[in-house]
Amino acid sequence: MENSLPQFRYFLKDSIRQKINFRMTDQSEGKPPPPIEKPFRDDSLRIDLVTKEHWHHISNVGIITAIENTKSHRHFKPAALSLEELSFLLWATQGIKNVTSNGTAYRTVPSAGCRHAFETYLCILNVEGLKRGIYRYLPIEHQLLIERESENISDEIIEATFHQSFTGRGAVTFIWAVIPYRMEWRYHLAAHKVIAIDIGHVCQNLYLACAAVGSGTCAVGAYHQELMDNLIAVDGENEFTIYLAAVGKI
């Protein structure tokens, strides 16, 4: 075990970049880029989120205070999050600010090559006006897509996070999935390290944004891969869970 560790540390280095022939990536070979948002069926049930111009209950907490108070929260009040508050948290983590003429979408977080390889699923537990279940954020439309409603979703997510019960006891648990090809299309084998870096930015914005809605969050990197992929109904190969964060009122 000890002797094999250095070979896995390779993943953290950028040495791979010198070995890749960037003229042979799918992008260089002229293959079309994958969509910036996972496609959905026209007849999917969708809910409009509250847009920035209509946010009236998001507090203007100072950046120094927000950073200074940042800590993980695993105990939440049994209070609901409003749709406005949830809309803000989604915008803060994966919202699209503008799409350029060549189809590049700039979001509220940085991403290597602006590839933004993530989809945001939500385990809704206690949000005003929403039934419990699994939803997906559509950043282009700023809407929520209902994946499936389930009264037992709390038990399911607790099981899929190795019984870390706070994941099923807050208002909403964010479940980020990665579609690796979005990054591989440009970076081939150099994609995977930057995907892991990118998701950290997303969760960090959630930590900060929670300060503006009287809420707290706790990142979750320990989860049962297959159970979580089943929970959000992704194939586990071309799209799979990469990180979670539980959110609730504090």
Ligand X SMILES: Cc1cc2nc3c(=O)[nH]c(=O)nc-3n(C[C@H](O)[C@H](O)[C@H](O)COP(=O)(O)O)c2cc1C
Site residues (vs ligand X, CB under 6 A):
71-72, 74, 164, 218-222
Cβ closer to ligand X: 20 or 219? 219
- Name residue 106's beta-bridge partners: 98
Nearest distance, CB of residue 244 and ligand X, angstroms: 8
Cβ closer to ligand X: 44 or 69? 69
Nearest distance, CB of residue 92 and ligand X, angstroms: 17
Nearest distance, CB of residue 242 and ligand X, angstroms: 10
Token pair, residue 137, equals 């954020």
Least Cα distance to 138 among 208, 36, 225, 213 occurs for 36
Residues 6+ apart with CB under 8 A from 136: 38, 40, 119, 120, 121, 122, 144, 145, 147, 232
Give the total residue count for the chain: 250
Cβ closer to ligand X: 5 or 222? 222
CA distance 119 to 141: 14
Nearest distance, CB of residue 73 and ligand X, angstroms: 8
User: Which one-letter amino acid corresponds to residue 99?
Assistant: V
Q: Give me the residue whose beta carbon is nearest to ligand X.
A: 221
Nearest distance, CB of residue 165 and ligand X, angstroms: 10
According to DSSP, the β-strands at 133-138 and 118-124 are: antiparallel
Cβ closer to ligand X: 67 or 140? 67
CA distance 22 to 14: 14
Least Cα distance to 238 among 179, 168, 164 occurs for 179
Cβ closer to ligand X: 76 or 185? 76
